[in-house]
Structure 1
């Protein structure tokens, strides 16, 4: 996959991926070639795949507990699930993605990288998907939707005490305040913000952590009217 236009591997990638730096570079090349050709990544993103996408997602590893079962919802091009798998071989990772063409691409890439990661075609809210993958320690998501919607997708997949870890931008505090009541109704606890990736990415990656502390509340008959 190498060639004159191959993207150079930044030195900081070795700090994040260690002995898996070479597979991480191959993943970036997949994104830069077939990922763009097949519409998983925009062509304007090519020159910033390392810092804005792969390293930005990989530093999520800083807040994921050891040996965790991780479900990545709406995985798309494998972000953040594949960088997380490359950075943390101790994790058991499942990528959930509804679109067949993306699932096919993910299978091809994972086969080339020899990563032991499961790909599930479906939506997180589908009963069959929920039955197969509930009880996760961590559920991740990136660029999937607003926090209230994410809580509805992620929290049911978690074991009690597990946490959703979602990548957000600078507006995270406002989003947390806006959606706090909805998150509580869905069984989520108090949100925390982590800034991760010091010495790796600039700006730092913003991660919103919400634990699962309960089950969704059912509205009463009067409330449904």
Structure 2
């Protein structure tokens, strides 16, 4: 959501402080469980987050919030024992069309009880007008979330064009740091990520990062 429409979202401050060194040891705003196309159970993912000492975490399964409750129970139990737990932000990854290109959008920090996003949380991408980026943006706005274009350099259109289009629509930002080489331990890809970060900075957009974990280790993809 454009900053003038939601200037006080608490996640904005967190994202503004991020650097390429924050992921994967301090923050992770993009990862998956068995409730979409990941290999980790929510319990396993939450336990790894505790072991890593993550400060901020969002589980972003595709079109599903099913992992959020079980992971939250792990964190509640750990906190009751006096352990440090991450700030756990509600997240989801939604497919949509931007400039006629199928892309993924991370919606973070939203109200799960708001009905606007409910059609997008049924385990599958929608079709028709609801698949358009404008529709996803509006649904995410109504639910009070921030919307970020995921891994901008993974699509058939240049990231510059997609980021420009997302900016015009009012997206909050994009995933600046991402391991496009998919190494065993997450490392932001040189040059590509630097160019994306520069584009976002020039436009005054927020930057995010995450491992996009689909395997069994939260330190890599």
Q: Same fold judged by TM-score > 0.5? A: no
TM-score where L is the length of structure 2:
0.35
Larger Cα-atom Rg: 1
Normalising by the residue count of structure 1, what TM-score does the alignment of the two structures yield? Answer: 0.35
Does 1 or 2 have the higher relative contact order (CA < 8 Å, sep 6+)? 2
In terms of fraction of residues, the more helix-rich structure is 1
